[in-house]
Amino acid sequence: MRVISYNVNGIRAALTKGFVSWLEAANPDILCLQEIKVQEDQLDKEVFSKAGYPFQYWFPAEKKGYSGVAILSKHEPKNVVIGTGIPSMDREGRNVRADFEGFSVMSMYLPSGTSEERLDFKLNYMDEFKEYAICLRKEFPNLVICGDYNICHEPIDIHDPIRLKTVSGFLPIERTWLTQFINTGFVDSFRYLHPEVQQYSWWSYRQNARANNKGWRLDYHMVSEALKDKISRAIILQEAKHSDHCPVLLELDI
Which residues are marked as active site? 148
List 79's β-bridge partners, or say none. Answer: 99
Rounded distance, CA 247 to CA 240, Å? Answer: 7
> At 168, phi and psi to the nearest 5?
-60, 135
Q: Which helix (H) or strand (E) holds 150?
A: none
Long-range contacts of 78-87 (CB under 8 A, 24+ apart): 82/57, 83/59, 84/129, 84/132, 86/128, 86/132
**Cβ contact 22:51 at 8 Å:** no
Rounded distance, CA 173 to CA 107, Å? Answer: 23
Q: Which of 73, 87, 182, 191 is nearest to 137 (CA)?
A: 182
**Cβ contact 97:105 at 8 Å:** yes
Rounded distance, CA 82 to CA 65, Å? Answer: 19
Classify residue 112 by its DSSP letter: P
